[in-house]
A and B are shown apart, each in its own frame.
Chain A
Amino acid sequence: MANQTSKFGQTGKSGQTSKSGLLFSGADWDFKTLSRAYEAIEAIAIEELHLDIYPVQMEIISSQQMLDAYSSVGMPLMYRHWSFGKHFLYQELLYRKGGRGLAYELVINSNPCIVYLMEENTMALQALVTAHAALGHNHFFKNNHLFRQWTDASAILSYLDFAKGYIARCEEQHGVAAVEAILDAAHALMEQGVFRYRRPPKLSSERQREGVRERLEYEERSYNDLWRTLPPSKGGGNVGEKDSGIAERKKTLNLPEENLLYFLEKNSLVLEPWQREIIRIVRIVAQYFYPQRQTQVMNEGCATFVHYTLMNMLFDRGLISEGAMLEILRNHSNVIFQPGFDDPRFSGINPYALGLDMMQDIQRISTEPTAEDRDWFPDIAGNGNWRETLLDAWANHRDESFIRQYLSPALMRKWRFFILADAASEPHYEVASIHNERGYEKIRAGLAQSYDIGASRPDIQVVDVDLLGDRQLRLEHKVKNGIMLEEASRDATLRHIRTLWGYEVSLAAIDAQTGATLNERSTSQIGE
């Protein structure tokens, strides 16, 4: 630390720094320096790494504002809910205790790409953060296929603005408690509120939403009870045989349905239009974050690789002083710190470290491959074009497929990966595979699997409901490898579903392999 500050002192004093072409000197920053640094970094990024980015909007915020952003799931706008208050208290506590530093930046997948910079950062850090977020993350957001297909970067902010206003209006109209009840229930189902396999419908534009609302209001105003007394049309008159009836029903309701929130929003019999709209808001927020959760390693890896490469290039060109570079490297090495599994500091695999290592490994494989690499990666080994290889990987993969495709034996040896098999019935773990010839494939597959959200989250679907009969909503949980649901939270969540559905809800645990029903839980068995 002392070394670092003295270095700063020297560069500050020498006076010739500005002449020598440095982008900045000293720890202080101002908007001119930020802008100069950004332009230099962007130029190199486009020229050397061929990055393709959204326009950037940088916002300077204080630590307090950073905490605020943390507690509202990182979005600049969010509706009000008590759980955000709870998260804020928790984050604030960690921060105050020094248990966790705040992030230096926060980046929003939007167009223009919004990057928050903390005012406390030194200029060297701001440069690092600019390269990391404004270029690395930004490029990833714009080019990765998941983000391109599943989220709409240009619409999210205006949608959140609408959501915030809409929920506030609902609270005014229907009371905070009523809105909270719906939000609580919807939040509980956020994990089950995304489309995993088919693409979600596009966010409607502000004008369309306005139109829908106007129509709803019109219907409310012009409601006439007389229409209810009209005899039903002939089509729905005779339900034929039972089996064909069930098949028909499933078809019309599009069952089985994996997106519980979507199903409830469209088919619940008890919800008012405003309640459906709130569920829709929660569902859209969940869907928005779904790609981010599938691309943690890649996203952070891409950003870290970009900042590390760019900073070194800047340094090589004499645009950054040694002192600033030391500070950058120190922060960089903090970020990619990965303790071993038996270290008290271990808390899982650091996505920054794994992502960066894999990407640097790809760079190595395409420029100086070993015989083993040629064997494992005939397509890219020695192709010499690491830039295109990485750009391609960033664009076309998510964590699971990226690891399955690119994790090399060399890296597994470096990380000394091993698989611990854990059966709940056994009193001990068993080491299943280690980093050797026989283990490489298994480790790679296992690690990829652990990043597959579809596989690691409970798979729960709506399978049946008899709208004309008892209206019981039947859910099915596909039990994989005998992993059941945690009972207390399962019951609490089922209660929330009943709130939204209005009638009995049951959840059957079905073994994915044998198809046997392991148990069945219904809301009628759960007390209030």
Chain B
Amino acid sequence: MKKITALTLACSLALGLFLSGCAMEESASGSSSYNFTAGSGSTAGNNSSSTESGKREVNVCSWGEYIDESLIYKFEEETGIKVNYNTAPSNEELYSLLQSGGVNYDVIVPSDYMIARLISEDMLQPLDYSKIPNYEKIDEQYKGLSFDPNNEYTVPYTWGTLGIIYNTTMVNEPITSWEVMFSDEYAGNILLIDNSRDAFGMALYYLGYDVNTTDEAQIREAAQLVADAKARGVYDGQGMDEVFQIMEGGNLAIATYYAGDFLSMHENNPDLAFCVPEEGSNWFVDAMCILKNAKNVDEAHEWINFIASTDSNLANMDYIWYASPNAEALEKYPAYYEETYGEPLDQELYEIMAAPKDVLARCSMYENLPAETLALYNDLWIELGI
């Protein structure tokens, strides 16, 4: 009997926790509905209630810690549209999720090469730019890029560069070249980035080849370079987002990652430094798109327009440290920073976030590769993993 009482107790406790959660909800958002559940579900209740019942909603899928959450609440308050905000770990996993057909997102924020792939597989729908007046504010530099040459499908969300992050207390001299990733100087003290495109890409840059090459011999040579280094024990491990704890904690000396993420690591560990290697590197654009089978097309356009505004871009830039494609926002950011924090923004950090023209000049964008090259990448990558 007592065990039963205990169970009841546990249940009522669970209920209590849930109620307090809801209460928090209300006081936090000011609205009475249980709207936004990020990365997640309790959308269950929402899914089953049909969209016909007059409630407007939009299903967004983005990356983890890739938005200033208060923007979501603001959007909900301004428009009354409920945002179901979900996250996916990587472009590849997002692609798998979409392929498996188990999800029904409206807006996604993939990176350039994935956008090209989605367009070529007819998974996106053309946008109605008349509903996105803020598109005008996007700098011309980020329009008409290879993944969407005619500006039909995308509104850029952020951009940035890939580079080497290193701990100044653990290396002998400032790093400027990809060479360090393949030499024995810091063997066992380096983290290899855990996706084929970036890992083989840095080898291609180092060898002086085109990063979008389809020449099998060149790709094999690059893969061999990485594989040899791995066999010699140059890399202590492979990781994507693991890099945060590893570098912040001073556990390894060198890693390859994105500029925006370097800046948030730098906040926690000022010993870290960043460089875009002299051989060149990748610069990328993440952009918002609407899926072909989206159910809430109007709401999706409203969301995209809201996010593309200068205010939203400023808030986002401040929160996630990725540079904004909105020219006005990018220009205003140092002033915004000074106003918010009462101290000027370090120019060096600003230039890491928004790489200046001379740095961008040596960078290039990944393009979608033909199927056989992708298959080659995949096979070589698996060989490396074995």
Chain A partners chain B: no
